[in-house]
Chain A
């Protein structure tokens, strides 16, 4: 069983479109995260949720909106996609806020043309 899953794995779209990436974890964790990995492989946290509550909201354009319908799911919606949004987006989860051991999904490679 996949612990942290993301869909889709690849996403190719045009500038200006709106797209969503879904994430689900079956580990029973309370905390979930979104990271962006740029072309130089640098990982930067974007958001974290704990029990459906937004905890971390880094300096991310407000075109990015996370949504957590329940603590096992954290989706990322992106409006008006730009070329600079091209990256790999990783979802992760941890047992709780203060447990820093995070488990990562396989990533979604977003390409904006």
Chain B
């Protein structure tokens, strides 16, 4: 079965600074990878996804992520954060054999002025 680890529970970043959130997965084959964002009191919104092809994927709100097979990682980045990026971020992995998404424990991002 697949699993996801988000090593950082909480990250604080200054507005305008860059942001990188780490995600490591465990799965024997090529996984389907996702990043979701959850603003306070809201549902989850899909930021971006990787299925195959170009390992650098662009998403909404200026986010991008890079799939690195050798490191089993799918880290999320944003060059310059805005106060509205304060939220909970979830990495998720889907495997082709069980029709499920497995989510990481999430990383809380706080943006300071």
Contacts and interface: CB of A to CB of B under 8 A. Distances in A.
Interface of A: 4, 40-45, 48, 55-56, 90, 92, 97-98, 100-107
Contacts of A100: 32, 34, 94, 101
8 contacts: A42-B103, A42-B106, A45-B100, A48-B99, A55-B99, A90-B43, A97-B99, A103-B46
Interface residues of B, number: 21
Interface of B: 32, 34, 36, 38, 42-46, 49, 88, 90, 94, 96, 98-101, 103, 105-106
Contacts of A102: 46, 101
Contacts of A101: 34, 46, 49
A98 B46 contact: no
A55 to B, nearest CB: 6
Nearest to A48: B99
Contacts of A105: 43
A98 B99 contact: yes
A104 B42 CA distance: 10
B99 A106 contact: no
Nearest to B103: A43
A56 B103 contact: no
